[in-house]
A and B are shown apart, each in its own frame.
Chain A
Amino acid sequence: MKLVTAVIKPFRLDDVRDSLAQIGIKGMTVTEVKGFGRQKGHTELYRGAEYAVDFLPKIKLEIAVTADLVDQAIEAISDSAKTGKIGDGKIFVYDIDQVMRIRTGETGTDAL
């Protein structure tokens, strides 16, 4: 089992959710985060004083999938999150040791 974590531009979220649904992945956890990589921030001006906004708002998406779905998930996310402009984000894949569905007590791949 793998945890696929993606940091993407916020306005791509709806498209990413739709393309994940198309490959059968319907559950996810989404967090609002701030970050930057190579995409620098921008400056704003208030009464003549500039201030730099370094951190940009991003969305972090986490989905837990069986190992055989990982490549499809990565492709789905990457195709729908990509704008081609700097700041599109990154995808990370982690191992999951344990999973449990709290309501029923199912564990392992039954809980995914």
Chain B
Amino acid sequence: MEDILNLRYALDTFYFLVMGAFVMWMAAGFSMLEAGLVRAKNTTEILTKNVALYAIACVMYMLVGYNLMYPGDAAVNSIWPGLSFLLGTENDPAAVLSASGESWYDGAYYSGRSDFFFQVVFVATAMSIVSGAVAERMKLWPFLAFCVVLTGFIYPIQGFWKWGGGFLDGMGFSDFAGSGVVHLTGATAALAGVWMVGARKGKYSKDGKVQALPGANLPLATLGTFILWLGWFGFNGGSELVISNVGEANAVAAVFVNTNAAAAGGVVAALLAAKIILGRADLTMVLNGALAGLVAITAEPLAPSPLAATLIGAVGGAIVVLSVLGLDRLRIDDPVGAISVHGVVGIWGLLAVPITNSDASLITQLIGAAAIFGFVMIASLIAWGAIKAVAGLRVTEEEEYRGVDVSECGLEAYPEFTSGPK
């Protein structure tokens, strides 16, 4: 029996770690996607932001965020988790193995450190949603300051409410892998940031016309999208948490299939929507469509049939095209469509759960979405506002024209094609 328990623990820990590594790879996906959709003169800065935010997320979550999000029995109440620092101890093998087979899944069935690893890469994902939305006009260091606040405090607190056992979990709010906890959170913080920093110069003219500011490298944007698609198998697949019995292995397989199906549905829907509304297939809309499909299924990738998953993803893909166009009409400048992909479709993902999962109800999903949106919006506005008051958020008009690579980083991404030394 001990052999079997050893093997199960090892397999589930291994599975969890590998899925976490897939999600870590999404950092590369976001970096390439964003690098491809900004202009050449702003590429170094967005890459710097992406690498730095990943690192800051890892540090802050280890220092304080993880314990805020998963206080366990030390939680103060179902809204405030209580503050503590640094990671706790790992599971004791003797204690783990002394659990009976029947009570196995009531106790510790994978490494505690692997749980931290899997969760920390999720924080980084949420934070990297923000970097694309505020690209091309925000200063680097104020952005990183916000990163400290979001990854250390804002994300963990709302994460506690659902995954840490807080009040949203208590009321039956359902969010399997984070359409709300991760994607809506990131998009809400992004929206607050976009409001605070303003639109790029020249994006919207006084008579309401929208100016195109095309991205510099669509091959990178496409590569980034595919990397995110691959990473998402870890994001959703790992959220099943366990693989070491027949039922769970089947569940993981279903999650992988549904995740892929939703992305495919999102692509096709976005392709058709772009063709119908804009008259032609816009690659950037198609890329957003794939991601929208993935976000849409993230709240419930297990329960649907593959066909239902495809349709849920397709609705996401259609929504994202309309949302990207709509946000521009509202003069909310989002160079990569992050608010549309992760926020608008994140809400759709949450509301779609009751369609296939009868344990969830539309009302609780709405309450959960509203709670996450409300809290993250208010907390983010305060954080952005404080940073703006102290340090300012936006580069000067001249620096924006020259490109933030030069002004914030002193380093050009394509020196032979912009103004660098020949």
Contact = CB atoms under 8 A, between A and B. Distances in A.
A49 interface: yes
A102 interface: no
Contacts of A48: 210, 277-278, 282, 324-325, 328
A51 interface: yes
Given A48-B278, A48-B282, 12 more contacts: A44-B212, A45-B278, A45-B280, A45-B282, A47-B285, A47-B325, A47-B328, A48-B324, A48-B325, A48-B328, A49-B328, A50-B212
A49 B204 CA distance: 10
Interface in A4-46: 44-46
B211 A51 contact: yes
Contacts of B31: none
Per DSSP, are chain A's interface residues mostly helix, strand or loop, or mixed?
strand
Size bin of chain A's contact surface: under 10
Contacts of A45: 212, 278-280, 282
B279 A47 contact: no
B169 to A, nearest CB: 38
Nearest to B210: A49
B101 interface: no
B210, B324, B328, most chain A CB atoms within 10 A:
B210
Contacts of A44: 212
B284 interface: yes
Contacts of B213: 46
A14 B395 CA distance: 47
Contacts, number: 34
Interface in B267-303: 277-280, 282, 284-285
A46 B279 CA distance: 12
B282 A47 contact: yes
A51 B213 CA distance: 9
Contacts of B210: 48-49
A-B residue pairs, 3 tightest by C-beta: A46-B212, A49-B212, A49-B210
A47 B211 CA distance: 10
A47 B215 CA distance: 10
Size bin of chain B's contact surface: 10 to 19
B280 A47 contact: no
Contacts of B337: 47
A48 B285 CA distance: 9
A44 B277 CA distance: 15
25 contacts: A44-B212, A45-B278, A45-B279, A45-B282, A46-B212, A46-B213, A46-B214, A46-B282, A47-B284, A47-B285, A47-B324, A47-B337, A48-B210, A48-B277, A48-B324, A48-B325, A48-B328, A49-B210, A49-B211, A49-B212, A49-B328, A50-B212, A51-B211, A51-B212, A51-B214
A42 to B, nearest CB: 13
A45 B211 CA distance: 10
B177 to A, nearest CB: 28
A49 B213 CA distance: 9
A44 B215 CA distance: 13
Interface in B234-286: 277-280, 282, 284-285
Nearest to B321: A48
A44 B282 CA distance: 11
A48 B213 CA distance: 11
B344 to A, nearest CB: 15
B19 to A, nearest CB: 33
Nearest to B214: A46
A53 to B, nearest CB: 11
A50 B285 CA distance: 15
A45 B278 CA distance: 8
A45 B321 CA distance: 14
A32 to B, nearest CB: 15
A48 to B, nearest CB: 5
A51 B205 CA distance: 12
A44, A49, A51, most chain B CB atoms within 10 A:
A49
A45 B285 CA distance: 12
A48 B329 CA distance: 10
Contacts of B279: 45
Nearest to A48: B325
A85 to B, nearest CB: 23
Nearest to B204: A49
A8 to B, nearest CB: 26
Interface in B111-158: none
Interface in B158-200: none
A79 to B, nearest CB: 37
Interface string B197-233: 0000000000000111110000000000000000000
B73 to A, nearest CB: 49
A70 to B, nearest CB: 38
A50 B279 CA distance: 12
